[in-house]
Structure 1
Amino acid sequence: MPDAVWVRLESAANGKLGRLTLNSPQTLNSLTLEMVDLIQSALDEWRDDPSIAAIVIDGSGEKAFCAGGDVHALHASSAGTPGGPCEYAETFFAREYRMNYALHTYAKPILCWGHGIVMGGGLGVMAGCSHRVVTEATRIAMPEVSIALFPDVGGSWFLNHMPGASGRFLALTAASVNATDALFCGLADRFIGADQKEAVMSALQEVHWEADAKTNHGHMRHVLRGFSDSTALELPAAQVEAHLPAINALCDGDDIHDVIDRITALDTEDRWLAKARDGLIYGSKLAALWIDRQLFETRHSSLKEVFQSEVQLGTNIMRHPEFAEGVRALLIDKDRSPAWLYSDSRAVPADLLAQFFAAPWPQNPLADL
Structure 2
Amino acid sequence: MTDNVQFQESVQFEERPTGSGHLIGRATLNAPRSLNALSLEMIEALDRQITDWQAREEVVAIWLEGNGGKALSAGGDVVALHGAMVKHAGQSRNPFTEHYFASEYRLDHRLHTSETPVICWADGVVMGGGMGLMQASQFRLVTPKSRLAMPEITIGLFPDVGASWFLNRLPGKTGLFLGLTGVHLNARDALDLGLADRFVDADREQVLDALAETHYQDDRDANRRQLHRTLQDLATRPDSLTPAVMDHLDTINTLCDAATVNEVVHRILEHKQCDGWLDKARATLADGCPQTAHLVWEQLRRSRHLSLAEVFRMEWCLAVQCTLHADFREGVRALLIDKDGKPRFRHRDVDQIDPSYIDSFFQNPAPQHPLADL
Q: Which residue of 2 aligns with 1:9?
A: 15
**Structure 1 residue matching 2:330: 3-state secondary structure:** helix
The Cα of 1:272 is off from its aligned counterpart by: 0.7
Q: Which amino acid aligns with 1:286?
A: Q
Quote how far apart the aligned CAs of 1:258 are: 0.4
Pick one of 180, 184, 189 that aligns with 2:192.
184
Pick one of 96, 99, 102 that aligns with 1:94: 102
The answer on whether the counterparts of 2:93 and 2:365 sit within 8 Å (CA) in structure 1 is no
TM-score (norm 2): 0.96
Q: Which residue of 2 aligns with 1:66?
A: 73
1:2 is displaced (CA, Å) by: 4.9
Indicate whether 1:85 and 2:93 are aligned: yes
Shift of 1:351: 2.2
| Structure 1: tracts of 5 or more residues without a match | none
- 1:46-72 deviations in Å (ceiling 9; x for gaps): 112111111111110111111101110
Amino acid in the other structure paired with 2:281:
A
Q: 1:235 offset after TM fit, Å?
A: 4.1
Aligned-residue sequence identity (percent) comes to: 41
For residue 225 of structure 1, what is the amino acid of its counterpart?
A: Q
In the aligned structure 2, how far is the partner of 1:68 from the partner of 1:235?
Answer: 28
- Which of these residues, 243, 264, 269, is aligned with residue 274 of structure 2? 269
The counterpart of 2:250, out of the listed 245, 252, 277, is 245
Q: CA deviation at 1:4?
A: 1.0
Match of 1:343 in 2: 348
In structure 1, the residue corresponding to 2:144 is in which secondary structure?
A: coil
1:329 correspondence with 2:334: yes
After TM superposition, which residue ranges in structure 1, 4 or more long, deviate above 3 angstroms?
none
Q: 1:133 aligns with which of 141, 161, 181?
A: 141
Which 10-residue stretch deviates more, 159-168 or 3-12? 3-12
**CA shift at 1:197, angstroms?**
1.6
**Partner of residue 129, structure 2:** 121
Following TM superposition, by how much is the alpha carbon of 1:350 offset from its aligned partner in structure 2, in angstroms?
Answer: 2.5
Structure 2 SS opposite 1:356 = helix
Instruction: Return the letter of the residue paired with 1:121.
Output: G
What letter matches 1:135 in structure 2? Answer: T
1:28 counterpart residue number: 35
Task: State how far apart, in whole Å, the 2-side matches of 1:41 and 1:84 are.
Answer: 30
Q: What is the one-letter code of the residue matched to 1:287?
A: T
CA contact (8 A) 1:90 1:318 kept: no
Aligned 1:219-258 pairs, distance under 5 A: 219-229=226-236, 234-258=239-263
Q: How far apart are the structure 2 equivalents of 1:312 and 1:86?
A: 12
Say how many residue pairs are matched: 366
CA distance in 2, matches of 1:236, 1:88: 41
TM-score when normalising by structure 1: 0.97
Secondary structure of 1:367's aligned partner = coil
Q: CA deviation at 1:253?
A: 1.5
SS at match of 1:77: helix
Report the alpha carbon displacement of residue 87 of structure 1 after superposing the two structures with TM: 1.7
Picking from 298, 303, 324, the partner of 1:298 is 303
Q: How far off is 1:3 after superposition? A: 2.7
Structure 2 equivalent of residue 357 of structure 1: 362
Q: Which runs of 5+ in 2 are unaligned?
A: 1-6
Which piece of structure 1 moves more, 206-215 or 275-284? 206-215
Match of 2:179 in 1: 171
The whole-number CA distance in structure 2 between the counterparts of 1:349 and 1:86 is 25
Root mean square deviation of aligned Cα: 1.2
Report the secondary structure of 1:9's partner residue.
strand
In structure 2, distance between residues paired with 1:243 and 1:215: 40
